[in-house]
């Protein structure tokens, strides 16, 4: 039987691996990694290898759904849904103003950049500032800390130049993002082979920690104390790049004073890591000529995430690990223009307190966006500015947002809830309209997302000028009525009589991206090619060239980009003693450390699972065979003390609510901790069988207690819980 092989860009997650799809009789028969791909080298995961099955699962929606008065849904033509949605929007905006309409972009909303561009354009066109994203319930500290510390325009050297890597609350071998780049296991293997040292700070002995030279298995929530202790040792033992610190930063004296209380003995007592191990980690980090630091979801969700990410940048500055004048930039950009390659910082920029102000908890827009943890309150709180309509793009708020009980009430209170969803997720079950979208093999997309993520920090994005362009390789199922998200949003805008301005996403500066964007002719019928041409019209390499050379992934021949020295008269400097961060650190030093008390003796920490996506496609038979539910992993000594065995159902209760979960033994979980992945479970009131739907850890996190004052994120990892058998 003849086999036709087609290359495709994986869009199961942000990493966007290069895959090959083998077709037999016109149907996908096998998906595997492309061994000739110059970045991924044949890597693939089971989630990507199951992409074809998502297109044919019985649960896939092939027609847009409309909710009936009795709560059921029935199929309607998507063109009818678009007209009805626009009509309801007009009514709501006329009655309550444009702020009544909000949006939320989840993980898969970013996987198709056209969706992101059109969703923002629609809200801007109607005059609403209310766009929430997954960033402020995941890793908001990255943007906020960048504002407080200031960016370094030249960035960091690529992984091939590192002599040491410090990972904090992140496990890139499983999450595949942040710290180790594309194909993280291979990257780590090659780096270790040439001598790179690895330090991991994590309450779990993760896949990454298994390979670490030093694993500081700390108490959850004590990351700032450990990092402050490392900074103190670097300063005391003169293991800092004094020239760089003096010439390129301010705030050193304030930092030195703030970290002084965090002696190795104090850190040992607070964080339950041996003082000698802390000193060894600091010296290993401090003697390395070049290196990098990366933090992840675990640290961002555990309280003080901004401070953790601030220390990521501050430790990098103390060691002078930034790229310097004369260094060659590994990836000068293909589809996305990088920041100017100058060995300098423009200095800090506003991190919070600007833009749209929430009506609750004094929250405002921050450098990572609007505080999504306030979205449910904005829906439920009566009065001027109340949100009445919500559009959900590639997300599932009912399982991903914190405080699921409040989120449930909010979703039910909306007068218009529209989801773009290929199956009836927990959120879509409550929606007034569920737009059935095309799936990845049915639409075109280039690798812009992962290239843009290269600006997040070390080990993100591509370490070479690489890009890939995917054509549609499957037609939508016969008789279906599916549509790309941007097409639906364009149709809604046409019915509303508003004009869309589409930003050029090849430009990172938001103002420039908007100014150089495209004002659509609202009477024209656009194609996907037209849209991608708009989104990349100022890209370093023309999209036409990427299409010509990059359908299987390609490293482009780009002019060498050398980091330039700081221009004369440059005044911007990095701030390593920001008053807000130093005040937070001082408050931590004056308060007792994390205590395991009798009322809530355990701390629940977040994790990711290699073989399944957190919030979707749990019904896929192959994935379900591997991971049926999200277990509550515990240290065997804790299980013995509690008298419980693997596979047993227990109740876990916080100061907000309780969930039922299935215990599983794992030696790598620190005693006193319970490790679970988030974004599982069903809606409140559904069958509470954790073997079928899993357990929603978001139900345990109240949004109005123990929340960050800038991003609004509550504690979503290191949650105090008690266990009942």
Q: Which of 190-199, 426-435, 614-623 has the lowest mean pLDDT?
A: 614-623
The helices-and-strands tally (H runs, E runs) of the chain is 27, 30
**578 and 637 housed in the same domain:** no
Count of structural domains, the chain:
2
Q: For residue 339, tell me if it sits in a domain.
A: yes
Instruction: Tell me the mean pLDDT in the region 434-444.
Output: 94
Considering the domain architecture, whether residues 580 and 654 belong to the same structural domain is answered as no
Does the residue 684 lie in any domain? yes
The first and second tokens of residue 650, run together, are 């227990």
342 three-class SS: strand
Please write the tens of the pLDDT for every residue from 239-280.
999 999 999 999 999 999 999 999 999 999 999 999 999 999
Six-digit token pair at 515? 């100014």
Question: What's the 3-state SS for 535-558?
Answer: HCCCCCCCHHHHHHHCCCCEECCC
3-state SS class at 15: coil
Pair 579, 705 in one domain = no
- pTM recorded for the entire structure: 0.96
Is the pLDDT confidence value at 298 over 70?
A: yes
Q: Tell me the average pLDDT across 290-318.
A: 96
CA atoms of 212 and 207, how far apart (whole Å): 9
Helix (H, G, I), strand (E, B) or coil at 267: helix
Cα separation of 482 and 324, whole Å? 50
Residues 577, 651: one domain?
no
pLDDT at 364 over 80: yes
Does 380 fall in a domain?
no
Average pLDDT for 141-148: 97
Q: Within this chain, do residues 581 and 600 fall inside the same structural domain, yes or no? A: no
302 within some domain: yes
- Same domain? 686 vs 666: yes
Give the residue among 109, 105, 112 at the shortest CA–CA distance from 134.
105
CB contact at 8 A, 593 and 219 = yes
Q: Are 338 and 332 in contact (CB under 8 A)?
A: yes
Is-contact 221 594, C-beta < 8 A? yes
Shared domain for 627 and 580, answered yes or no, is no
Domain final residue pick, 561, 586, 611: 586
Name, in order, each residue with C-beta under 8 angstroms of 130's C-beta and a sequence gap of 6 or more: 99, 101, 102, 103, 123, 356, 370, 378, 387
Mean pLDDT of all residues belonging to the chain? 94
328 and 186, same structural domain? yes
Residues 626, 581 within the same domain: no
Residue range of the domain that includes 175? 141-347+573-586
Note whether 160 and 274 are same-domain residues.
yes
Q: Are 282 and 234 in contact (CB under 8 A)?
A: yes
Determine the average pLDDT of the residues in 210-220: 97
C-alpha–C-alpha distance, residues 303 and 12, integer Å? 29
d(CA 128, CA 703): 24
Question: Distance between CA atoms of 501 and 524, rounded to whole angstroms?
Answer: 14
Ranking 4-13, 365-374, 383-392, 575-584 by mean pLDDT, the lowest is 4-13
Question: SS3 for 615?
Answer: coil
Which residues are CB-neighbours of 623 under 8 A, at least 6 positions away? 46, 47, 50, 611, 612, 617
* Non-local CB neighbours of 279 within 8 Å, separated by 6+ positions: 233, 264
pLDDT of residue 1: 63
CA atoms within 13 Å, Cβ hemisphere of 666? 21
Q: Cβ atoms within 10 A of the Cβ of 140, count? A: 30
Which domain CATH number covers 245? 3.40.228.10
H helix runs in 426-474, sequence order: 448-453
């Amino acid at each position: 039987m003849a086999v036709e092989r087609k290359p495709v860009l994986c869009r199961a997650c942000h990493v966007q691996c290069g895959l090959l799809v083998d077709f037999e009789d016109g149907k996908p028969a096998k998906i595997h990694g492309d061994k000739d791909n110059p970045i991924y080298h044949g890597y693939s995961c089971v989630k990507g290898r199951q992409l074809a099955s998502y297109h044919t699962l019985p649960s896939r929606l092939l027609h847009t759904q409309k909710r009936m008065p009795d709560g059921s849904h029935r199929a309607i033509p998507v063109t009818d849904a678009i007209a009805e949605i626009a009509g309801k929007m007009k009514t709501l905006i006329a009655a309550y103003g444009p702020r009544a309409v909000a949006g939320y972009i989840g993980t898969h909303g970013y996987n198709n950049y056209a969706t992101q561009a059109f969703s923002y354009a629609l809200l801007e066109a109607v005059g609403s500032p209310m766009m929430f994203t997954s960033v402020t319930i995941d890793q908001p500290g990255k943007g906020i800390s960048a504002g407080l510390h200031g960016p370094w325009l030249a960035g960091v050297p690529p992984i091939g130049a590192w002599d040491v890597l410090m990972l904090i609350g992140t496990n890139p071998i499983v999450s595949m993002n942040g710290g180790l780049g594309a194909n993280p296991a291979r990257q780590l293997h090659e780096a270790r082979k040439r001598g790179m040292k690895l330090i991991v700070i994590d309450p779990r002995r993760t896949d990454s920690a298994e390979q670490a030279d030093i694993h500081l298995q700390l108490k959850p929530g004590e990351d700032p104390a450990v990092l402050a202790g490392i900074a103190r040792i670097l300063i005391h033992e003169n293991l800092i790049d004094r020239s760089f610190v003096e010439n390129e930063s301010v705030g050193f004296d304030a930092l030195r004073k703030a970290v002084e209380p965090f002696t190795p003995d104090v850190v040992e007592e607070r964080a339950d890591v041996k003082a000698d191990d802390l000193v060894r980690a600091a010296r290993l980090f401090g003697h390395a000529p070049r290196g990098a630091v990366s933090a992840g979801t675990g640290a961002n969700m555990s309280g003080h995430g901004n401070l953790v990410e601030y220390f990521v940048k501050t430790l990098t500055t103390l060691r002078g690990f930034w790229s310097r004048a004369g260094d060659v930039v590994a990836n000068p950009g293909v589809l996305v223009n990088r920041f100017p390659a100058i060995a300098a910082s423009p200095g800090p920029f506003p991190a919070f307190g600007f833009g749209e102000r929430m009506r609750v908890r004094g929250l405002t827009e921050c450098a990572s966006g609007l505080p999504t943890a306030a979205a449910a309150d904005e829906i439920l709180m009566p009065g001027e500015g109340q949100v009445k309509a919500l559009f959900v793009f590639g997300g599932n708020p009912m399982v991903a947002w914190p405080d699921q009980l409040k989120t449930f009430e909010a979703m039910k209170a909306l007068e218009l809830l529209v989801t773009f969803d290929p199956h009836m997720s927990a959120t879509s079950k409550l929606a007034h309209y569920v737009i059935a979208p095309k799936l990845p093999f049915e639409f075109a997309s280039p690798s812009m997302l992962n290239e843009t993520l290269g600006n997040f920090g070390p080990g993100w994005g591509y370490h070479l000028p690489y890009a890939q362009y995917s054509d549609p390789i499957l037609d939508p199922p016969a008789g279906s009525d599916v549509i790309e998200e941007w097409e639906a949003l364009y149709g809604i805008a046409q019915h509303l009589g508003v004009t869309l301005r589409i930003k050029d996403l090849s430009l990172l500066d938001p103002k420039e991206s908007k100014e150089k964007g495209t004002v659509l002719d609202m009477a024209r019928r656009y194609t996907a090619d037209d849209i991608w041409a708009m989104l990349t019209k100022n890209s370093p390499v023309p999209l036409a060239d990427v299409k010509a050379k990059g359908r299987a992934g390609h490293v482009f021949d780009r002019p060498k980009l050398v980091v330039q020295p700081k221009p004369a008269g440059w005044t911007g400097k990095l701030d390593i003693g920001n008053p807000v961060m130093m005040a937070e650190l001082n408050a931590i030093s004056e308060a007792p450390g994390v205590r395991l008390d009798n009322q809530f003796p355990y701390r629940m920490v977040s994790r990711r699972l290699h073989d399944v996506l957190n919030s979707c496609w749990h019904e896929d038979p192959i994935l379900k065979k591997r991971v049926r539910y999200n277990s509550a992993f515990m240290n065997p000594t804790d299980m013995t003390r509690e008298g419980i065995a693997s596979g047993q159902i227990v109740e876990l209760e916080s100061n907000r609510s309780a969930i039922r979960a299935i215990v599983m033994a794992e030696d790598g979980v620190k005693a006193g901790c319970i490790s679970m992945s988030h974004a599982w479970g069903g809606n409140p009131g559904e069958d509470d069988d954790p073997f079928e739907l899993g357990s929603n850890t978001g139900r345990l996190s109240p949004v109005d207690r123990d929340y960050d004052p800038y991003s609004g994120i509550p504690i979503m990892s290191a949650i105090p819980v008690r266990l009942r058998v």
